[in-house]
Amino acid sequence: MSRLSRFGGTRRLPRPRTLRGRLIAGLVVLLAVSCAAVGVAAVVELNGFLTRRLDQQLAQTGPTFPQSLEHGTYKPSDGDGDEHGDTRRQAAETFGARLVKGQVTSAAVVPSGENPDLGVELTASDRAALAAVPVDGTGHTVCLSHLQHYRLMAWQGRDGDVLITGLPTEPVRSAVQRLELVSVIVFGLALTATGVAGAFWVRWSLRPLSRVAATATRVSELPLASGEVALPPRAPDADPGTEVGRVAAAFNRMLGHVEDALTKRHASEERLRGFAADASHELRTPVASVRGHAELALLHPGPVPPEVTRALQRITAESARMGLMVDDLLLLARLDAGRPLERRPVDLTHLVLDAVADARAAGPGHRWTLDLPEDPVTVPGDAHRLQQVLANLLANARSHTPVDTKVTVTLEADADAALLSVHDDGPGVPEEVQPGVFERFTRAEHRRPTGASGSGAGLGLSIVAAVAEAHGGSVKLESGPGSTTFTVRLPAS
């Protein structure tokens, strides 16, 4: 098993994640491909050109040197004689060979400073390669064992033999290798310089886009859900004729529309809060008057028909329920307005004991249990509002679960916060209602409505969430068939 297969395949090179990195990488890659194409084309062309020059030299030289091997005469340039061959007007290291019936009868190389001997040693493979050179008047590259690569050209002799002349390709290879080295160095420097210059150029060109991204990041960090929102300064204007400039202009226009929408929404919320607070405040007096007159009528000493007594009792009950609803609306309006709550040490343990005792009296058919720590749990806050949170949660569990449901109230504390949870094994909150369970006037149409404040208006859990947030805490719901848990987190300081 190969190393790659053992480690789960090949590892891909990391890709740049930013637009700037991709542009720079693309620029460098394109330039590298262009340089490689130019370098390869230059090397191939130089190799072909020098090889053709060798072929021209071989054609001009002709079979003179191998013919001298055929006659066995040697006439050096100084006039001395030998029996190997005529090397006059022959370039150093010129190869010559004579073949008769496919067999090499003689072979020699024009001596040079590094190789003063005229003779050459040929192996069997060399002889076979020489015999395979076609007599076509064109050059062919052959690798001889002791002579490296040669460019050979063959002619037909007068005696039916084959005469072969060759020149070494080492000069061609040296020139090509030198060009390759120069190309690598030059193109490497060009790529490095282009990468550095391109990085600065791309960074300068994308500065407006970076400013747009920075502005968008600041906007994304703003609390846009509610309240008055002040958007950051717009992105700097850029040349509208460029893509980046058009993006910046469109982004600034979008921020303007968002700011207008947020301003109008905030103004509408303020008007709605003011209306809710004013209406709740104004309704308290007539509701109290109606309730008072109904109670006064019930105290009349004279005989009153049963139907009238029943109507007056219903008026009293509904007036009380309406009064609770008005109080809840007024509380929410005050919390929305950001009015600070009382901040005093509150003994949550004592509140839980009192609230569960009240819940047992109101719902004797339920099974109420407590899970409290040994030491009292104290948090800073408004005791009256925290008592209302407990009352709403217990009323919610009592009102929307069947008789004999077990309700467990748990209180825990650590160094940072106190956790108050109310768990029941009732039918649970419908899944489609859970996302908006803490919104105002949210009600379920089935077995378990989501709000209970005693008024049945769907404000109880919204008051729980608002009071918890006003104390710097939070509330969450975890519900399913047979298990529902509301958990309130209150900071310890």
pLDDT given at position 115: 55
The domain defined by 344-491 folds into Heat Shock Protein 90 (3.30.565)
DSSP secondary structure code for residue 434 in this structure: G
Claim: this prediction has a pTM higher than 0.75: no
Residues 413 and 492: beta-carbon distance below 8 Å = yes
What are the structure tokens assigned to 346, written together?
């509150």
Sheet holding 417-424, edge to edge: 367-371, 406-413, 417-424, 483-491, 474-480
pLDDT given at position 338: 66
By CB atoms closer than 10 A (0-12, 13-18, 19+), residue 486 is buried
pLDDT given at position 238: 66
pLDDT given at position 49: 92
Non-local CB neighbours of 408 within 8 Å, separated by 6+ positions: 369, 370, 371, 422, 423, 424
By CB atoms closer than 10 A (0-12, 13-18, 19+), residue 136 is exposed
What are the structure tokens assigned to 329, written together?
């609306």
The pLDDT tens digits of the residues spanning 303-312 come to 778 887 888 7
CATH number of the 62-168 domain = 3.30.450
Per DSSP, the residues of 420-432 read EEEEE-SS---TT
Question: What is the rounded end-to-end Cα distance, in angstroms, of the chain?
Answer: 62
Residues of the chain with pLDDT under 50: 1-9, 73-84, 445-455
Place of tokens 């390759």: 180
Identify the CA nearest to 244 among candidates 282, 290, 204. 204
Per DSSP, the residues of 59-121 read HHHTTHHHHHHHHT-B--TTS--BSS---TT--TT-EEEEEETTEEEEEEE---SS----B--
Non-local CB neighbours of 241 within 8 Å, separated by 6+ positions: none
Identify the CA nearest to 333 among candidates 405, 271, 406, 250. 271
Residues 147 and 153: beta-carbon distance below 8 Å = no
Residues 36 and 44: beta-carbon distance below 8 Å = no
**Angle, CA of 373, 379 and 382, to the nearest 5°:** 130
Identify the CA nearest to 408 among candidates 359, 374, 340. 359
The pLDDT tens digits of the residues spanning 319-375 come to 777 777 777 777 777 776 667 778 889 899 899 999 999 888 888 899 999 988 888
Domain ranges for the chain: 16-60+172-205, 62-168, 221-339, 344-491
CATH number of the 221-339 domain = 1.10.287.130
Tally of residues, the chain: 493
What are the structure tokens assigned to 13, written together?
């090179």
